[in-house]
């Protein structure tokens, strides 16, 4: 008895087939990141993270107590 693989080698969905054809024609890898993706600048990544960590707390600090209550009611 032949064992069946969980992954189909030849998908029957026309959209999947079309995507595979386009990627092969443009020499893009079928899975994973594109080979031409530049590396990220670590300093810029760190600055973006710091801004993201501060943003929520700073926004809440600017709200009036009535606005915070209204937001809390909507969230509950």
Q: Give pLDDT tens digits for 31-65.
A: 655 556 678 888 888 888 887 788 888 888 899 99
Q: Is 26 helix (H, G, I), strand (E, B) or coil?
A: coil
Between CA 34 and CA 25 the distance in angstroms is 14
Domain that holds residue 76: 42-76
Which carries the bigger pLDDT value, residue 9 or residue 56? 56
Residue 20 lies in a domain: no
Residue 59 lies in a domain: yes
- pLDDT score of 48: 84
Residue 7 lies in a domain: no
Which carries the bigger pLDDT value, residue 54 or residue 67? 67
Between CA 56 and CA 53 the distance in angstroms is 7
- How confident is the model over 19-27, as a mean pLDDT? 82
The radius of gyration of the chain from alpha carbons, rounded to an integer in Å, stands at: 24
Residue 72 lies in a domain: yes
Between CA 8 and CA 17 the distance in angstroms is 12
Please check the confidence at residue 5 and state whether its pLDDT lies above 70.
no
What is the number of structural domains in the chain?
Answer: 1
Assessment of whether the complete model's pTM goes beyond 0.85? no
Between CA 28 and CA 6 the distance in angstroms is 24
């Amino acid at each position: 008895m032949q064992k069946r693989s969980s992954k189909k080698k030849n998908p029957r969905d026309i959209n999947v087939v079309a995507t595979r054809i386009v990627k092969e024609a443009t020499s893009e890898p079928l899975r994973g990141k594109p080979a031409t993706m530049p590396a990220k600048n670590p300093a810029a990544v760190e600055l973006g993270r710091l801004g993201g960590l501060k943003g929520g707390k700073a926004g809440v600090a600017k709200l009036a107590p009535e606005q915070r209550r209204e937001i809390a009611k909507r969230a509950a």
